[in-house]
Amino acid sequence: MENHRSAPDQAPATRAPGRRTYLMCRPAYYAVEYAINPWMDTTAPVDAARACSQWEALAATYTDLGHEVLYIEPEPGLPDMVYAANGAFVVDGIAYGARFRHPERRPEADSHEKWYRAAGRAHVKPEHTNEGEGDFTYLPGPGLILAGWGFRTDARAHAEAADVFGRQVVSLRLTDPRYYHLDTALAPLDDHNIAYYPEAFAPGSRRLLQRLFPDAILAGAEDAAAFGLNFVSDGARVVVNAEARGMAAKLSAAGYEPVPVDLSELKKGGGSVKCCTAELRP
């Protein structure tokens, strides 16, 4: 595989954004009713109206940046459905469906499957447990799928995804329960490069990431805890949780334009920008 160097000093003056299509789900029934990750505290109050306005601001940010936003209807009884990234993983116009680890979220997979089918989009039902884009992402440059396992997604789903997409999958083991999904610890910046928090990964996975992405932006403990890696980049503009100021500075220094959005209410469920956003790759 090629080595994709994009060190800050070699970064182009202006990075080129691409137009993206995102799928989102209004947090109409959002609440913290159960705790399936360390961020969720069922005794802490959630401001549902505020969660909705923060989410609306996120959707408006995408359309203002020129992206297309599609919507899936929220369903009562599925408070985590706002984290639309978990419903499937889409590359080459094919949605590889989710199969949730926890029973509380299982019905979300069917809602997403119905959405893809109704939209006339290809959808593959999975055999193995996986939480969609929460644990899978794609780098078009090298044509690589990066996949996480250790908490939610079964590593057998990585092989299943390789088979569905006919693409190489890099398996990365997550070890810190606070970073239970790959998208809480790693995110693509553009077609070739990524940002990640090394401490969230097992030593072998860290070495693998270091080999594949020698010029990655490395996040620290504070960046990760502020959900600074749960961002959505279009190759130039990076929509990132407003709390992650240190991460925003690192992105700017590397030639990207951080676009902060406040998602403090959605953080109470253990998610942020990326979790609320599924990318539909053509």
Q: Which stretch binds ligand ARG (CB under 6 A): 42-50, 82-90, 139-147, 189-197?
A: 82-90
User: Is 275 one of the catalytic residues?
Assistant: yes
Q: Does the footprint of ligand ARG cover residue 270 (CB under 6 A)?
A: yes
Q: Are 74 and 81 in contact (CB under 8 A)?
A: yes
Closest CB 191 distance from ligand ARG, rounded Å: 21
Residue with tokens 């990076």: 238
Q: How many residues in the shown chain lie near ligand ARG by CB under 6 A? A: 16
Quick one: how far is CA 39 from the chain centroid?
Answer: 16
Distances 223 to 178, 185, 196, 229 between C-alpha atoms, Å: 13, 10, 10, 7
188: contact with ligand ARG by CB under 6 A: no
**CB 152 → ligand ARG: shortest distance, Å?**
7
**Cα–Cα distance measured from residue 212 to residue 52, given in angstroms and rounded to the nearest whole number:** 38
Provide the sign of the torsion angle of the four alpha carbons 188, 210, 6, 222, taken in this order.
positive
**80 is a site residue for ligand ARG (CB under 6 A):** yes
| 271 contacts ligand ARG (rule: CB under 6 A) | yes
Residue 277 binds ligand ARG, judged by CB under 6 A: no
Select the residue interacting with ligand ARG from 6, 54, 61, 86 (CB under 6 A).
Answer: 86
Among the residue ranges 111-119, 178-186, 218-226, 242-250, the one whose residues contact ligand ARG (CB under 6 A): 178-186
Nearer to ligand ARG, 36 or 259 (CB): 36
112 is catalytic: no
Taking the CA atoms of residue 211, residue 171, residue 132 and residue 18 in that order, the dihedral angle to the nearest 10 degrees is 20
End-to-end CA gap in the chain? 23
Considering only 269, 273, 279, 280, the residue that binds ligand ARG (CB under 6 A) is 269
Name residues contacting ligand ARG, limited to 12-51 (CB under 6 A): 36-37, 40
Distance CA 51, CA 31 (A): 9
CB 134 → ligand ARG: shortest distance, Å?
3
Question: What's the DSSP call for residue 16?
Answer: P
Contacts with ligand ARG, 124-143, as mask; x by CB under 6 A? ----------x---------
| 279 touches ligand ARG by CB under 6 A | no
Check: CB of residue 250 under 8 Å from CB of residue 223. Answer: yes
DSSP class of 167: S
Phi, psi of 91 (to 5 degrees): -140, 145
> Given 67, 192, 275, 276, which residue is catalytic?
275
Q: How far is CA 277 from the centre of its chain?
A: 7
Q: Which active-site residues does the annotation give? A: 181, 275
By the criterion CB under 6 A, which residues form the site for ligand ARG?
Answer: 36-37, 40, 80, 83, 85-86, 105, 134, 181, 183-184, 269-271, 275
